[in-house]
Amino acid sequence: MLNPNNAQLPVIAAPMFLVSGPEIVTACCKSGIVGTFPALNQRTNEGFREWLVSIEQSLEGVAHPGFGVNLIVHKTNPRLQQDLETCVEHKVPLIITSLGAVRDLVDAVHSYGGKVFHDVTTLRHAQKAIDAGVDGLIAVSAGAGGHAGTLHPLALLGEIRQRFSGTLISSGCISSGADVASAIAAGADYAYMGTRFICTDESRAAIAYKAMIEQSSAKDIVYTDKVSGVYANFLGASLAAASGEEAHPDGKPIDFGEELLAPEDGDAKAWKDIWSAGHGVGNIHSTVPVAALVDELTHDYQNALQRAADLVAKRH
Ligand SMILES: Cc1cc2nc3c(=O)[nH]c(=O)nc-3n(C[C@H](O)[C@H](O)[C@H](O)COP(=O)(O)O)c2cc1C
């Protein structure tokens, strides 16, 4: 189960489509942060089950903070029920739900002592998830990688906190230990980090994708619904490469019309060739092993907390 006593840092490495698998999950857990992956990163339920078994075997006898699986709760996900049953069978410590928050799923996960965190971009969706009985809410703010929201993180966290006393997680643009400290200072219990973990040895992202993140800054991120019909943040240079056009200098989405993606290509093709990342890219300059990244984040986090403590001490 989730065990914060085994955590080195209050960080969850966020689930990322086509990027996170068992390698990143086990490396995160062994380094003392929560590792996660989307069940749909495996093409079949059998494959998903094999990944769970391999994670369990790698973590046997290791004191770790727990790991999580992301389930897409939507009628277009034909695997949902089967994957949920697999999670229940394997007693997956944390289930992260996206899109729908459903009481039956929450009850099924609670039956073995697991926790459900749900990601939201608006207060309306947060309330629906609270009504479904989730244990945690992930506030996905403007500037996040993937399907980002549009609200400033402080606004979203503050408004959710006023009506929710469960676990609160801040998501969006968190790249450094100081960023983690700022999320905690703003009232979050965990920081949720996606883009920073793309640039690790254990991520499944292509080398050119990692290099593009290292060379990008916030102005290079394009927020568009032209890739999959839902607004998400993408690296402008990968959009330009896929469309054969120059990235729009002021960051406006390029209008690809119907040409870029034939409908049958679906989301997987889109996300394979057009690379998602959040505004935090400008603070990412290297690809390193997860263990080294967690060490660096911890050092930076402690320095940031010390700096704040020193400021308080000076005033008294
Ligand atoms: C490449 C990529 C793929 C993602 N895929 C998923 C996904 O499959 N499921 C999900 O819940 N969130 C997904 N996300 C969102 C992340 O879980 C997380 O909310 C986000 O990355 C946090 O913002 P940051 O990237 O600025 O740290 C994805 C993000 C990225 C960058």
Q: Where are the domains of the chain?
A: 4-204
Give the type of residue at 195.
T
Q: Is the CB of 68 under 6 A from ligand 1?
A: no
Decide whether any atom of ligand 1 lies within 6 Å of the 12 Cβ: no
CB count within 10 Å of CB 201 equals 15
- Residue 315 has a pLDDT of 81
Ligand 1 near 205 CB (within 6 A): no
Q: Distance, CA 251 to ligand 1 centroid (Å)?
A: 20
Q: Is the CB of 139 under 6 A from ligand 1?
A: no
68 or 247, which is more confident: 68
172 C-beta closer than 6 A to ligand 1: yes
* Residue 236 tokens, joined: 């402008």
Atom 13 (ligand 1): residue with closest C-alpha?
16
- Ligand 1 centroid to Cα of residue 309, in Å, is 32
Asked if 222 and 253 touch (Cβ cutoff 8 Å), the reply is: yes
The span from the CA of 277 to the CA of 8, in Å, is 25
Measured distance CA(120)–CA(17) in Å, rounded? 17
CATH 3.20.20.70 fits 4-204, yes or no: yes
The per-residue pLDDT for range 83-134, each reduced to its tens digit, is 999 999 999 999 999 999 999 999 999 999 999 999 999 999 999 999 999 9
Ligand 1 in contact with 16 (CB < 6 A)? yes
SS (H, E, C) 54-119: HHHHHHCCCCCCCEEEEEEECCCCCCHHHHHHHHHHCCCCEEEEEECCCHHHHHHHHCCCCEEEEE
Q: Count CA atoms within 13 Å of residue 21 on its CB side.
A: 16
- Ligand 1 neighbour 212 (Cβ under 6 A): no
* Helix count and strand count (H, E) for the chain: 12, 10
Cα–Cα distance, 296 to 260 (Å, whole number): 39
Q: What is the pLDDT of residue 74?
A: 92
Q: How confident is the model at residue 271 (pLDDT cuts 50, 70, 90)?
A: confident
DSSP E strand stretches across 200-264: 221-224, 232-235
If you average pLDDT over residues 239-256, what whole number do you get?
A: 59
Q: Count Cβ atoms below 10 Å from residue 269 Cβ, excluding itself.
A: 14
Gap from CA of 90 to ligand 1 centroid (Å): 24
In the chain, what is the straight-line distance between the N-terminal and C-terminal CA atoms, in Å? 41
Atom of ligand 1 nearest to the CA of 278: 26
- For residue 174, CA distances in Å to 111, 179, 191, 276 come to 33, 5, 7, 15
Question: What integer best gives the mean pLDDT of the chain?
Answer: 93
Atom 2 in ligand 1: residue holding the nearest Cα: 16
Q: Is the CB of 146 under 6 A from ligand 1?
A: yes
